Structure 1
């Protein structure tokens, strides 16, 4: 039986592969590693993803980690694996990034999204941030499956059909 960690990690790895870091940032694994090296060095030194990383670099970093895991035998992103902390830090930084778009959001753990009270996954005071709020209810599992959806002005709406967050926010409830 597949446990929750494996299921979530599988969904996140699938999500990471949708961003082709070789095509978007560098042509080869070696060039991608070179582009990511300053950020990874700072992460290894501070255990924090640098604030200067933009969303494309973070998506490329997640892509790189999945490729490195696969070519390293597939054990780095297993529960307790040596790459899991870095993986989580990168994904958490993507979720909290002020310029993240709905389609850049990684799959999230249901417990962290629907677990205890209303959880906001962004910084709502920033105008370009994606408004993602979930609340626990009888349907909370179904709501998290709809992500990226938002509860805004008392109504659940899917943000994917809007051209921009600004347009979404302007539409009357």
Structure 2
């Protein structure tokens, strides 16, 4: 097996040696071999695809922790996870853009337009520790509620908490 030194590998995958050392430290891209005396890192040609994927995901702003989850998935699931993550980024960016335009118009003395409306989005999953999702979320005109369930009855408890708050906020 032919191994590439960190400099040659960095050039091949268009990443910096510093980035490769960080990805090694985080367990995302561990070198095929590390010289026990010098600590010099060597990478295999079979690691090129993973290195490029990590680089692409970093370039779109994905956090390293999420990248670790993505690269551990099967390709189809990873593709869906990337699409889902990007959808959240796009939605958040759109809302920030609207707020920035509102602030700029306000600072420029433009006549007030329609009031900003509360928008909400929620993503809930089981995470790394739980076997199932136990969270509950409600987004209404007068209430935004999130309950984090935990333990044997966590799903029921969080759903009950949100239902109780909803009845209180929206009336009978």
TM-score normalised by the chain length of structure 2: 0.24
Rg (Cα) greater in structure: 2
TM-score normalised by the chain length of structure 1: 0.23
